[in-house]
Amino acid sequence: MNFLKIILYPLVPVYAFVIWLRNFLFDKNIFKSRKVNAKVFSVGNITFGGSGKTPVTIYLTNLLKLKGNKVGVLSRGYGRKSKGYVLVSDGNKLLTTVEESGDEIYHTVIDCSVPAAVSENRVKGAERLIMDTGVNTIILDDAFQHRWIKRDVDILVIDQRFLTENHFFINNLLPTGVMREPFSSIKRADAVIINRKFMEKKNLPEERKKYFAGKKIFTGYYKALSFFDLKHNAELSL
């Protein structure tokens, strides 16, 4: 596997240039982000893999509900067997199967009981979700790179291990590493959550502290409470 990544390494500068150009065009307003008729919170990351976006989405959804907002969740729906816009829940009941929605948003709906949908096109998906359910606040799950939709708050979730360890085949841009964007893209975030998962809290290395200057930084961690069978909608206590 590492041999294949070495072969693909010459493509890293090409990928880096494409990402830089795309972000430059958005930053200069040549590519324009579109506003929808709702407050938009984006939860995302700069890597592939489980950084903890979905638990943050669930926490944020419940928090905003408590504050009186009518919250809806919109995701791309990775791993689903459907295409296009699919309304997963109207806030009262599930309208699809986990195969049609993808497991992450299905779990979010079960935990939060809010309207939710999946769509590859976040702008059209958000507009449809607003029209179908009347939500006034939308949380975008895994949308840091989806800059076509304008957001009010951009939250970045990063695995602590990714920040504190150095591995050539991890801490590098695609296709050699797992980074969707370089560390410099952290500047777009309004807040950063460093997820230490089940590990002890560690300090950021000096060479990476500069990327977090002026940012609101929070630390999250995991605490196992139970197992949940999505297929049979059953919770099993530890």
pLDDT score at 22: 98
The helices-and-strands tally (H runs, E runs) of the chain is 8, 10
pLDDT score at 169: 66
Helix (H) or strand (E) holding 217: strand 216-220
pLDDT score at 185: 96
pLDDT over 90 at 57, yes or no = yes
pLDDT score at 24: 98
Q: In Å, what is the CA distance from 151 to each residue of 37, 44, 134, 230? A: 11, 12, 18, 30
Return the SS3 of 88. Answer: strand
Model pLDDT for residues 127-180, shown as the tens digit of each residue: 999 999 999 999 999 999 999 999 999 999 999 988 888 776 678 899 998 999
What is the architecture, at CATH level 2, of domain 2-226? 3-Layer(aba) Sandwich (3.40)
pTM over 0.85? The answer is: yes
pLDDT over 90 at 231, yes or no = no
- Selected residue with higher pLDDT from 197 and 188: 188
Token pair for 182 = 């370089």
**How many other C-beta atoms can be found within 10 angstroms of the C-beta atom of residue 213?**
8
pLDDT score at 129: 99
- Selected residue with higher pLDDT from 170 and 116: 116
pLDDT score at 95: 96
Percent of the chain surpassing pLDDT 70: 98
Q: In Å, what is the CA distance from 173 to each residue of 12, 141, 142, 161, 164? A: 6, 22, 18, 16, 17
Domain boundaries, the chain: 2-226
pLDDT over 70 at 26, yes or no = yes
Instruction: Print the SS3 string covering 94-112.
Output: ECCCHHHHCHHHHHHHHHH
Model pLDDT for residues 102-114, shown as the tens digit of each residue: 998 998 999 999 9
pLDDT score at 38: 99
pLDDT over 90 at 205, yes or no = no
The sign of the dihedral angle between the CA atoms of 108, 113, 118, 124 is negative
- Selected residue with higher pLDDT from 158 and 1: 158
